[in-house]
Structure 1
């Protein structure tokens, strides 16, 4: 799914009105009606007080359309105008007149005086936030911030329209008290990047996309900087196997790493590479891990360094398709020198994780030795050592994009929504869960990416696909183990199920769900 920028959304709205020969007011009516349909399908006329707070721009206009439909369908609605300036949009004014024609209870005007005596909200009520939309470019003034804080203090369920008010689409928040904390956000046509970043995701517990009929050609043809990756995006990447395939068709992974006490990292990465589909896997490890690796993974071949405790020399006579390097490697001085010599001579595609990243951070001149499209998989601290400190998530993304462009590498920013970055493009993953915050999870991912490259996947596709499968495997394992008991080995054990899940058809809705969908279709027709 494409994530459109603020500017692209405005352009899409403009083109839609031109190509569909409708007014911007008609498009606003369509958007507000879709919000109403979503609420009506779930509430079915329940008389819970619904407080609709409307700004005086187009987001407020959407709120007025919603309030009008709620009123005409008999809901218990209290509408407010957050009268924060004199700059009212044309479509807001049109819908302000329209709501006055369907009720004697005109919207309550909230002025800059900060008097909220007319705002009485119970914990069991519902708040609809339609104050500010994506066009906000400065913090709300103090009295609006106070209003938002009153909402939060009420503990009422808060539904935001398009984006939580006070949240920007393209920069960091200055004051969290100036942003609505929404329980749910209904986002028009596509989600917003800020829904997935660590610092801003907290402002909406859940989100859902509403299709408001933006021109299809525009949506299909417009390139976006950010894409959201789910099953439907990775399924076309999948490479099926032919009947007469043999192990030589699926490449040879070399996992290079390990040190005394950290052979398990290589074990996990090697096992994950095999379970992801690599034809052959060899582990290059110090001598101390030889017997344990042979016993634990009979499918994996072993090359051992002459040194007992760490890798002191990298010398092998095989021709791997890809090398996954760094897991459990250590940063011993001898290992660091060996790693540098290896990079100077290596021409094989690389996936670099853990101590491989730490060694690059200590001597950044080594970055120039990396083959094109090398994949780097840092966790936050490792990323900071590579690109430098950042003040917020947006600066972090800009630093990573610049780093990727400078060295022509792929950087995977690991997190709750792992983001694969290649130059100016970003791919946000949707699978995974907090149970993955466990030792060895990253080693598994290194093996999976390496295993996919070995099978012929291009490095960028391999990274995107492996991150999805990694998270999906953990989601499947979660059903048996829960967050606390999930370990890295469980993720490997369910890689096969994650592959199978790619081809599962969604379950058919039950009779009640079908009835609700039909009701929504009838409302759309109206």
Structure 2
């Protein structure tokens, strides 16, 4: 699913009105009706007090459409207009007149001073104060109103985006943003729903289809895309009946140091479990018995040193190399890594201590093969690109780094983002159970295993991040967040593959008569 920018949303609205021969007011009616339908299905006429707070722009117009339909259907509605300016939009005014024709209780005009309307904890707030067009600091009184929403602890539903939240920057004052329980976004989610600094303003989100022109949606190129099952299925490469292990590549995993052989074991296991034909592990000598006994499917090459890697030398021809897991940053290891980079021409997955070594030896970066994948966690990323002001500044710096060095960066997090130059791919799978030691090593193995099979590095990164998260989602159903460990994720990689083509379960008949009818 494409994540539209603010400017693209406006363009989509304009083209839709033009191509479907409708007015902007009719498009607003369509959007507001979708919000009402969403509410009506869930409330079924329940007489819970509903407080609809409308601004005087188009988001407020959406709110007035919702309020009008709620009134028509007999709901207990209180409608307010946050009247802090005289710059009302045309469509707001049209819908302000329309609601006067269906109720004697006209919207209450709030003049942005004085007391706030009382709101009970069991009430519902519909936030339609500001939309994506907000381009100024929120007034002090409005900030207090938003805090009044929050203090009431009432369920808060935001229309399109929580008021006060911008689509392309982090708010300077969190008190100037509505903290929504749920956001109904028109046609496309907003990037801010997925960033650590801004995701907190909406616990849940959902996209409503308001009929934006299909040709526009198909052809538009966006900075960001949302990655779920439907986005990764077309990238899956099925296996031929007559294939053999040689058809699926040879993955080499380089890493480990005394006490950290487990990291290489996890990465090697996940590479093979993802589908690599062969996996070889390159480790210091101290890990030989450990790896051979714990993971007999892998081949093992050892360094000349007992406890660390000091000389990366092998006589095999790997398809792809995953490097850095458990590696350590000893000066001898760093030198060995630098020497290896100068000679290597094979695609790389670079993780953990290999990233830390790059951060301390920026001259090594020029030797990284084009299209290699770096998978830093937040602190490793900070060491690599420097500190950032906020999430948008971080994305700007990552895009610049990716473009300069022609590499793919996988920014690990609750919504892992894969970055190639100016393009962002935001992942939907995964859960808090992944916040445990070793799961990053598993991701490295998954990406290595996919590239070994012939997936190009970008597709492997997008697909691999999805599989990693989906495997954890499946495992957590049995293990729970707290008890999930990295090995559990490896054990469910196969289930994640199977889930790609699993058909949705059909609802079962509720009675014998229904079963007979079917």
> What is the TM-score when the length of structure 2 is the normalising length?
0.98
Map of 2:57 onto structure 1: 57
2:180 and 2:395 map into 1 onto residues whose CA distance is: 25
1:217 and 1:114 map into 2 onto residues whose CA distance is: 48
Map of 1:100 onto structure 2: 100
2:79 and 2:234 map into 1 onto residues whose CA distance is: 47
The superposition leaves residues 351-404 of structure 1 with CA deviations (integer Å, 9 ceiling, x where unpaired) of 000000000000111111100011000000000011110010000000000000
Is 1:471 equivalent to 2:460 in the alignment? Answer: no
Map of 2:495 onto structure 1: 497
Map of 1:82 onto structure 2: 82
1:84 and 1:253 map into 2 onto residues whose CA distance is: 63
Shift of 1:511: 7.1
Unaligned regions of 5+ residues in structure 1, if any? 513-526
2:469 and 2:507 map into 1 onto residues whose CA distance is: 25
Moved segments of 4+, more than 4 Å: 509-512
Q: 1:209 aligns with which of 169, 186, 207?
A: 207
Is 1:279 equivalent to 2:277 in the alignment? Answer: yes
Is 1:256 equivalent to 2:254 in the alignment? Answer: yes
Map of 1:356 onto structure 2: 354
Map of 1:437 onto structure 2: 435
What SS does the corresponding residue of 1:483 show, helix, strand or coil? Answer: coil
Distance 1:509 1:160, change over 3 A: farther
Map of 1:154 onto structure 2: 152
Map of 2:5 onto structure 1: 5
Map of 1:186 onto structure 2: 184
Superposed, 1:97-496 pairs within 5 Å as: 97-116=97-116, 119-496=117-494
> What is the TM-score when the length of structure 1 is the normalising length?
0.96
1:71 and 1:134 map into 2 onto residues whose CA distance is: 26
Shift of 1:509: 4.6
What SS does the corresponding residue of 1:421 show, helix, strand or coil? Answer: strand
1:232 and 1:24 map into 2 onto residues whose CA distance is: 31
1:257 and 1:365 map into 2 onto residues whose CA distance is: 21
What SS does the corresponding residue of 1:317 show, helix, strand or coil? Answer: coil
Shift of 1:115: 2.9
Shift of 1:137: 1.6
Q: Supply the RMSD in Å over aligned alpha carbons.
A: 0.8
What SS does the corresponding residue of 2:79 show, helix, strand or coil? Answer: strand
The superposition leaves residues 480-502 of structure 1 with CA deviations (integer Å, 9 ceiling, x where unpaired) of 11011000000000000000000
The superposition leaves residues 201-253 of structure 1 with CA deviations (integer Å, 9 ceiling, x where unpaired) of 00000000000000000001101110000000000010000100100000000
Unaligned regions of 5+ residues in structure 2, if any? 511-518
2:258 and 2:136 map into 1 onto residues whose CA distance is: 54
1:345 and 1:47 map into 2 onto residues whose CA distance is: 72
What SS does the corresponding residue of 1:310 show, helix, strand or coil? Answer: coil
2:12 and 2:270 map into 1 onto residues whose CA distance is: 43
Shift of 1:81: 0.2
